Amino acid sequence: MLTREIAERTRRFVAGQIFPIEREIVADGRPMDDALRMELQKAAKEAGVFGPLSPIEYGGLGLSTLDQAEVLEAAGTSLIGPLALNCWAPDDGNIHLLAHVATPEQARRYLAPLASGEVRSAIAMTEPAPGAGSDPTMLRTVAEEVSDGWIINGAKHFTTGAAGAAFVICIARTDDGPTMFLVDADNPGFKVGRRMPTLDRASAPGGHCEVTFEDCFVPDEAVLGEVGQGMEHAQARLAPSRLTFCMNWLGLATRAQELAARHISERHAFGSRVADHGMAQGHLADNEIDIEASRALIRRAATVIDEQGPASSASRHLASVAKTFVSEAVWRVLDRSVQLHGGLGVTEDHLVARFLVEARAFRIYEGPSEVLRWSIARRVLRAYR
């Protein structure tokens, strides 16, 4: 099936089935719970647009990274769209990670139900200070090897989707280095605590939670990948995950641009349509420039990931470049769109206000812009040392 056809199906699905209920969730407080998630994902399956990130053998579309770009942009025209298609965090990155690292038994037990939308997952990496945040070398959660498995102790926060997740991928320090572990939600040593009151709240079932591992025993089969290779596997997950965010959020930027253009075309001030005023046109033009530049960077990074693999230096570099630029470009587009709506732009009568608030965290998660600029510069400077 042609990618463009899937993208067009996705646009029709989001516009026809997601837009009508979007306000209830984004602005009116209807909770995005698992019952609603599964209802939307069932509809996406019936429309033939479910699972753009999932392998075909698990009911997905099996798209390449480049093919995903147009489809995920279409999904992202609503804050709820990516969730309905099962291409939203943290499941997006975990599907990719499990597809590349899991043993056959782990794939059967964890990947298959995750890729099909039967369950949700979480990844527990970020820790309260002085633990690991942007610097993974500060990891404090420890996994101690015992005769028949491992015992994990530590605390994490910003564990997205933890409440109601079927399992968590925990990154813990071992004698051989950071290691990933699959921890079932019903493990008595694993506890989900407070749901953190973050700005972004509309599209994440399970929220962003504090979690603890207290004498949490897992068997040897719970090790995901190789012992001591947790950071390497995390790096391979990061490039595709960063691009997924870029694709989805770019879709929301294009939606905001359309809403702003429509609004100023209908609104009159100072004797003419607002759309006829040069300053308003300047905002629209800058939005269009940011959107097109973002689209080009995403496709460039996606092509290299497909050609060289997600763990290659070039893939990681270009994904970092794209994530830094797109996260800031999306913010600029949404901010200008709010401005073009005037006073109404800061009310939730128009969804651009909620779009702006929800997008703020994009410049921080999966690598803050400042950290990514540092890593980009270091790669550039290697050629001159």
Domains 3-115 and 230-382 share a fold: no
CATH homologous superfamily for the domain 3-115 = Acyl-CoA dehydrogenase/oxidase, N-terminal domain (1.10.540.10)
- Residue whose pair of structure tokens reads 């949404």 in the numeric block: 334
14: left (phi over 0), alpha (psi -120 to 50) or beta: alpha
Distances (CA, A) of 53 to 6, 50, 151, 300, 368: 13, 9, 33, 18, 24
Domain boundaries, the chain: 3-115, 121-224, 230-382
Spatial neighbors of 74 by CB under 8 A, at least 6 apart, are 7, 8, 10, 11, 14, 81, 251
pLDDT band at 128 (very low <50, low <70, confident <90, very high): very high
Q: By C-alpha distance, which of 12, 32, 85, 16 is closest to 54?
A: 85
pLDDT band at 161 (very low <50, low <70, confident <90, very high): very high
Residue 153: which H helix or E strand, with range?
strand 149-160
Cis peptide before 130 (omega within 30 of 0): yes
Q: Facing residues of 219 across strands?
A: 149
Is residue 36's pLDDT more than 80?
yes
How far apart are alpha carbons 328 and 169 in whole angstroms? 29
Is residue 230's pLDDT more than 80?
yes
Average pLDDT over residues 263-278: 94
358, two tokens: 């929800």
Q: By C-alpha distance, which of 171, 61, 165 is closest to 113?
A: 165
pLDDT at residue 203 in the model: 67
Question: Do residues 78 and 46 lie in contact, with contact meaning Cβ atoms separated by under 8 Å?
Answer: no
pLDDT at residue 19 in the model: 97
Is residue 95's pLDDT more than 90?
yes
Average pLDDT over residues 2-21: 96
The residue type at 140: R
Question: Do residues 373 and 324 lie in contact, with contact meaning Cβ atoms separated by under 8 Å?
Answer: yes
The dotted CATH code for 121-224 is 2.40.110.10
Spatial neighbors of 19 by CB under 8 A, at least 6 apart, are 78
pLDDT at residue 205 in the model: 85
pTM: 0.95
Average pLDDT over residues 269-279: 94
Q: What's the mean pLDDT when you consider all of the chain? A: 95
159, two tokens: 């564990």
pLDDT at residue 319 in the model: 97
pLDDT band at 137 (very low <50, low <70, confident <90, very high): confident
How far apart are alpha carbons 269 and 120 in whole angstroms? 49
pLDDT band at 1 (very low <50, low <70, confident <90, very high): low
How far apart are alpha carbons 76 and 299 in whole angstroms? 16
Residue percentage of the chain with pLDDT more than 70 = 99
Residue 147: strand, helix, or coil: coil
* Residue-wise DSSP of 24-87: HHHTS-----HHHHHHHHHHHHHTT---TTS-GGGTS----HHHHHHHHHHHTTSSSHHHHHT-
The residue type at 196: M
pLDDT at residue 56 in the model: 93
Task: Pinpoint the alpha helices (H) of 210-229.
Answer: none
Residue 228: strand, helix, or coil: coil
pLDDT at residue 26 in the model: 87
Average pLDDT over residues 157-175: 97
Of 139-153, 230-244, 245-259, where does mean pLDDT reach its minimum?
Answer: 230-244
pLDDT band at 257 (very low <50, low <70, confident <90, very high): very high
Q: Which residue has the higher pLDDT, 203 or 258?
A: 258
Given the candidates 3.40.50.720, 2.60.40.10, 1.10.3720.10, 1.20.140.10, the CATH classification of the domain at 230-382 is 1.20.140.10
Distances (CA, A) of 215 to 90, 152, 193: 25, 6, 16
Give 311-360 pLDDT, tens digit per residue: 899 999 999 999 999 999 999 999 999 999 999 999 988 999 999 999 99
